[in-house]
């Protein structure tokens, strides 16, 4: 925060709550607030789901011991089938049937253990709401992606999820809106001042008079956003440029998640698209990017990249859609008109604001396609009074309009009676 902004925040007479509010809802303040809200929400979800997960952990460990005991019992039972002839005098077929029946019972028991207690053959328990998983869950709520990798099971967790989303989603939208506004202005400025710089320079050079100093009138001296030539605030970024930007962002994400998650590049690109559009099928989630980031600095950087990519990506998509919206609407209306439809009588035209461009010198052709050529001079010849040719009034009006001269012969004649009589005395001019 600059000194001037700080002085404005803490100036005498400003209430303390306004100072805090101004700091929190600045760009940096909102970014920090989103992080704190996500981390705080993860901690609360862990606390609300801890008791349930403690019970499930004990149930899972007990069930794992029961399955191990059942396997040991069957091993001894099968041995008895083969060696205890006094008790089990089985034929070969009876032995196979008895073993098969016991194995089927064990199979049913294991399936029940998997469904009821999450049995996986180990004595380890993976909590659904570990800090890493809970943080990904809170981010997916705030961004409305909803991967579905975990979900609260307790009533208190479900109710808190509703309240958390009601606050978190608007908070994220506000933060993304401010970031998107800054990104949109920056991208438009970059496109206008860098990619369009050559076009602007050529137009200015063409419009300026020959004797004017072009260095003194250079485009570097223009006020950004209020240039006389192709103003930054009026420049429309083409749809193709926006689409290229989006595809490049998805391409970068596909390479990054291919390296961090081990997915195929096509799968990574699919995940990036589903995430940025907030579809969130839940078939893929960046779980490996969050596991172990608390103790491994490399994992921490991967987690920061994943969060930043998702948030900035959705903001970028919103920015590009906003930049393309007007052009898409214009093209759709044009297509409807071309197909014979109606656009409610409104003609789609491109309007140039008056006063934005200097007047074209008389010896130049302005912004026409042949702007490097000088204007062709009209040829005149003197004829006698007997050879005067009377031009058709409509034809003369048409020529005058094209040349930027008087708009109507009658109007000109009425306003200038008696002023230009000398032009019609003696020799006359015949325009060739």
* Digit-coded pLDDT (tens) for 314-325: 999 988 988 888
- Alpha carbon of 309 to those of 15, 118, 306: distances in Å? 37, 33, 5
Q: Which two tokens stand for residue 202?
A: 């050529």
Q: What is the CA angle 132-136-141, rounded to 5?
A: 145
Query: Which residues fall within 8 angstroms of residue 396, CB to CB, at 6 or more apart?
Result: 409
Per-residue pLDDT reduced to its tens digit, 140-190: 999 999 888 889 999 999 999 999 999 999 999 998 888 888 888 888 878
Predicted confidence band of residue 2 (pLDDT cuts 50, 70, 90) = low
CB atoms inside a 10 Å sphere around CB 270? 17
Task: Kindly indicate the confidence band of residue 48, based on its pLDDT and cuts at 50, 70 and 90.
Answer: very high
Q: What pLDDT, on the 0 to 100 scale, is given for residue 221?
A: 65
Rounded to a whole number of angstroms, the distance between the first and last alpha carbons of the chain is: 70
Looking at residue 60, its pLDDT comes to: 93
User: How far apart are alpha carbons 82 and 89 in whole angstroms?
Assistant: 9
Query: How far is residue 201's CA from residue 218's CA, in Å, rounded to a whole number?
Result: 8
pLDDT at 344: 54
Q: Residue 262 pLDDT > 80, yes or no?
A: yes
Which pLDDT does position 148 carry in this prediction? 83
Instruction: Choose from 78-82, 86-90, 378-382 the range with maximum mean pLDDT.
Output: 78-82
Token look-up 């469904």 returns 115
For residue range 324-358, list pLDDT tens digits in order: 887 888 888 888 888 876 555 444 444 444 444 44
List helix spans (H) across 121-238.
131-142, 155-190, 197-207
Asked if residue 378 has pLDDT above 80, the reply is: no
Which tokens go with 42? 């993860």
What pLDDT is attached to residue 393? Answer: 46
Of the candidates 97, 111, 92, 99, the one whose C-alpha atom is nearest the C-alpha of residue 74 is 99
Give the mean pLDDT of 404-414. Answer: 47
Write down the mean pLDDT value for the chain: 77
Report residue 103's pLDDT band, with 50, 70 and 90 as the boundaries. very high
Share of the chain above pLDDT 90, in %: 34
Residue 267 reports pLDDT greater than 80: yes
Tokens matching residue 143: 């961004």
Question: What share of the chain has pLDDT > 70, as a percent?
Answer: 68
Q: Which of left, alpha, beta for 377 (phi over 0: left; psi -120 to 50: alpha)?
A: beta
Mean pLDDT computed over 229-248? 82
Q: Domain spans of the chain? A: 3-127, 212-327, 380-431
Q: What is the pLDDT of residue 372?
A: 46
Higher-confidence residue of 377 and 142: namely 142
- C-alpha 56/C-alpha 153 separation (Å) is 12
pLDDT of residue 126: 86
pLDDT value, residue 331: 85
Tell me which residue of 322, 309, 230, 224 sits closest to 273, measured CA to CA.
Answer: 309
Give me the architecture of the 212-327 domain, per CATH.
Answer: Orthogonal Bundle (1.10)
Q: How many residues comprise the chain?
A: 432
Q: How confident is the model at residue 19 (pLDDT cuts 50, 70, 90)?
A: confident
pLDDT, position 425 = 47
Taking 70 as the threshold, does the pLDDT of residue 101 lie above it? Answer: yes
pLDDT in tens, 65-86: 999 999 999 999 999 988 888 8
Do the beta carbons of residue 187 and residue 317 sit within 8 Å? no
Residue 159: the pLDDT is 96
Which tokens in the block code for residue 285? 């989630």
| Residue 214 pLDDT > 90 | no
Q: What is the pLDDT of residue 349?
A: 43
């Amino acid at each position: 925060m600059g000194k001037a902004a700080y002085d404005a925040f803490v100036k005498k007479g400003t209430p303390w709550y306004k100072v805090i509010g101004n700091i929190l809802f600045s760009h940096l303040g909102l970014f920090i607030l989103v992080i704190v809200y996500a981390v705080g929400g993860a901690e609360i979800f862990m606390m609300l789901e801890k008791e349930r997960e403690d019970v499930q952990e004990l149930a899972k460990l007990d069930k794992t011991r029961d399955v191990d005991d059942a396997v040991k019992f069957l091993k001894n039972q099968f041995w008895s089938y083969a060696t205890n002839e006094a008790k089990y005098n089985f034929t070969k077929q009876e032995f196979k049937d008895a073993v098969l029946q016991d194995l089927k019972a064990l199979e049913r028991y294991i399936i029940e253990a998997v469904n009821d207690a999450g049995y996986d053959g180990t004595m380890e328990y993976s909590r659904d709401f570990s800090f890493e998983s809970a943080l990904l869950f809170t981010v997916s709520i705030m961004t409305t992606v909803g991967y579905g990798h975990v979900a609260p099971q307790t009533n208190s967790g479900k109710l808190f999820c509703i309240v958390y989303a009601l606050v978190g989603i608007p908070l994220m939208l506000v933060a993304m809106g401010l970031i998107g506004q800054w990104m949109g202005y920056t991208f438009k400025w970059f496109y206008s001042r860098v990619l369009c710089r050559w076009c602007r320079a050529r137009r200015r050079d063409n419009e300026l008079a020959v004797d004017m100093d072009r260095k003194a009138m250079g485009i570097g001296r223009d006020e950004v956003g209020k240039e006389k030539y192709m103003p930054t605030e009026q420049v429309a970024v083409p749809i193709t440029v926006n689409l290229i930007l989006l595809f490049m962002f998805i391409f970068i994400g596909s390479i990054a998640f291919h390296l961090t998650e081990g997915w195929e590049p096509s799968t990574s690109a699919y995940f990036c698209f589903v995430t940025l559009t907030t579809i969130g099928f839940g078939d893929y989630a960046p779980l490996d990017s969050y596991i172990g980031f608390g103790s491994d600095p490399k994992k921490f950087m991967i987690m920061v990249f994943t969060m930043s990519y998702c948030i900035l990506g959705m903001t970028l998509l919103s920015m590009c859609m906003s930049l393309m919206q007007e052009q898409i609407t214009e093209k759709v209306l044009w297509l409807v008109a071309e197909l014979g439809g109606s656009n409610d009588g409104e003609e789609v035209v491109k309007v140039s604001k008056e006063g934005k461009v200097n007047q074209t010198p008389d010896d130049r052709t302005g912004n026409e396609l042949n702007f490097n050529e000088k204007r062709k001079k009209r040829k005149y010849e003197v004829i006698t009074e007997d050879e005067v040719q009377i031009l058709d009034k409509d034809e003369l009006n048409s020529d005058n309009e094209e040349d930027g001269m008087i708009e109507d012969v009658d109007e000109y004649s009425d306003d200038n009676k008696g002023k230009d009589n000398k032009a019609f005395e003696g020799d006359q001019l015949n325009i060739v």
